[in-house]
Structure 1
Amino acid sequence: MDTPPWGEWLRTAVLTATVVAMAWLLLTVDLPAWPQLREQIGSYGWASWLVFVGLYALVAVTPIPVTVMAVAGGALFGWLPGLVLSMIGVVTGSCLGYGLARLLGRRTVARLLGRYAETITTRLRADDGVLAMSMLRLMPGVPYWPVNYGAGAFGARLRPFLTSTLAGSLPGQASLVAIGAVLDAPSALTVTILVLSWLTVLALTALTWRRWRAERTGHG
């Protein structure tokens, strides 16, 4: 006698709830602009860094863009502390998404990823190592959350996932935090950091795009 597919039913229910929750967050939740966000988080005094990291991690789990969080971090804490705290938030949120995806399973997450599913699955099937996931982090038009969920669902190992999250997220986070630092306290140092970090992001993005195009056309 076949066992009823309770696991599949449960995953479908979780999928439905997750999709509805993410759609609601994406369509209805707007983070405040960075000045208001900086003021609100800063009002917690010594605990502001804990509030910032916790909020950043929660945002990173959802489809809500993390851009304003990184900019607010640079404005509130300065470039280097803001970068460290932003990276902690990104890594924490990424691990939460990774763990949730492992619970949901491959088929469920493939439905959740929607238009990102083909890109994520193709890359991870080719190589689940650090380079593949780092390229996904740097590819234009691919936000963080599909990579987190795809890596968890399609069997990427935890250590390469963590390494790629650090390596692939660092350039973008550095450039966004630098914007906040310049907006809050412009100086020769912060402007230099801003220019260098964005040049790095542009260079890495261009290299990643060229390699991805070459692989798709069979010339890489």
Structure 2
Amino acid sequence: MQENQDGEPAAGDHEAPWATWLRNVALIVVVLAMIWVVFNVDLPPVDTLQATIEGFGWAGWFIFIGLYALAALTPIPVTIMAVTGGLLFGLTIGSVLSVIGAFLGAWGAYWLARALGKQVVTRMLGRYRAHVENQLTSAGFEAVCTLRLMPGVPYWPVNYGSGAFGVRTHVYVPASLLSMIPGQISLVAVGNFIAEPGVISGAWVLIAWAVVIVLTVLAYRRWRTARGAFGGGPTVQDAAP
């Protein structure tokens, strides 16, 4: 089967029946797994998670990164993981570990979405589908940054949507990494403040959140400008820097 540059079947080609069947089975499995995770799996309280990770000593760094990456693959909010990073490791190390864990989970979801295919993922996105697809249809780099920074939009729809709607790796990787750093630092700063309340740690919280707000506004403006420059209708590949 011929494929276009987005990795989707080229015009005029038809997907084999067995491929359609496999995609439908994959959709059912993924959706059921997501539903089960949302309603049956909760991250433990911060103090419990903190005690568990601390019990592993130096290996706790890798345990934390692994847990964060796994959580980032699912619709479970990962805020508690970033806050725990600040509680356990402080602002600097906690931020580094949180960014690594969040990025690995985001990258894994991206490739999982590419494997599942656009049809499966668009159904899985549910109420986020229209918003994410509208953003990612042009100005790929700016769109990923805007969605990643925008309050109220979880990581997982951006991760899976980017893989499904054809955002290329060389666009997705730097956009995701750069845009998730401010948000992760702001959450880790909250955990650090809880662990060590004080003027300095409180100032870091205010600074980090101020940076997130400013970057969100700037990213949104750049996305609007880039989208308008291309008439609002190019592919994300054409908009890559």
TM surpasses 0.5: yes
Tell me the alpha carbon deviations over residues 47-73 of structure 1, each in whole angstroms, 9 at most, x when there is no partner.
Answer: 000100000000000000000000000
CA contact (8 A) 1:139 1:208 kept: no
- In 2, distance between residues paired with 1:164 and 1:214? 17
Match of 2:89 in 1: 77
Could you tell me which runs of 5 or more consecutive residues in structure 2 were left unpaired when the two chains were aligned.
Answer: 1-13, 233-241
Q: Which runs of 4+ in 1 moved over 4 A?
A: 206-216
Q: Aligned match of 2:190 in 179, 183, 188?
A: 179
Could you tell me which runs of 5 or more consecutive residues in structure 1 were left unpaired when the two chains were aligned.
Answer: none
- The worse-fitting range, judged by mean Cα deviation, of 58-67 and 200-209 is 200-209
Match of 2:151 in 1: 140
Tell me the alpha carbon deviations over residues 89-121 of structure 1, each in whole angstroms, 9 at most, x when there is no partner.
Answer: 011000110010000111111101111111111
After TM superposition, the score normalised by the length of structure 2 is 0.83
- In 2, distance between residues paired with 1:192 and 1:9? 55
CA contact (8 A) 2:143 2:223 kept: no
Q: Identity percentage over the alignment?
A: 48
Are residue 152 (structure 1) and residue 163 (structure 2) matched?
A: yes
Match of 2:104 in 1: 92
- In 2, distance between residues paired with 1:3 and 1:69? 41
- The worse-fitting range, judged by mean Cα deviation, of 25-34 and 91-100 is 25-34
Tell me the alpha carbon deviations over residues 7-47 of structure 1, each in whole angstroms, 9 at most, x when there is no partner.
Answer: 11111111111111111111111111212111111111110
- Displacement after TM superposition at 1:205 (Å): 3.2
- The worse-fitting range, judged by mean Cα deviation, of 108-117 and 185-194 is 185-194
Are residue 205 (structure 1) and residue 216 (structure 2) matched?
A: yes
- In 2, distance between residues paired with 1:170 and 1:104? 28
* Aligned-partner residue type, residue 118 of structure 1: A
Q: Could you say what secondary structure the match of 1:126 adopts?
A: coil
After TM superposition, the score normalised by the length of structure 1 is 0.91
Q: CA RMSD in A?
A: 2.3
Which has more helix, going by share of residues? 1
- Displacement after TM superposition at 1:192 (Å): 1.6
- In 2, distance between residues paired with 1:175 and 1:27? 28
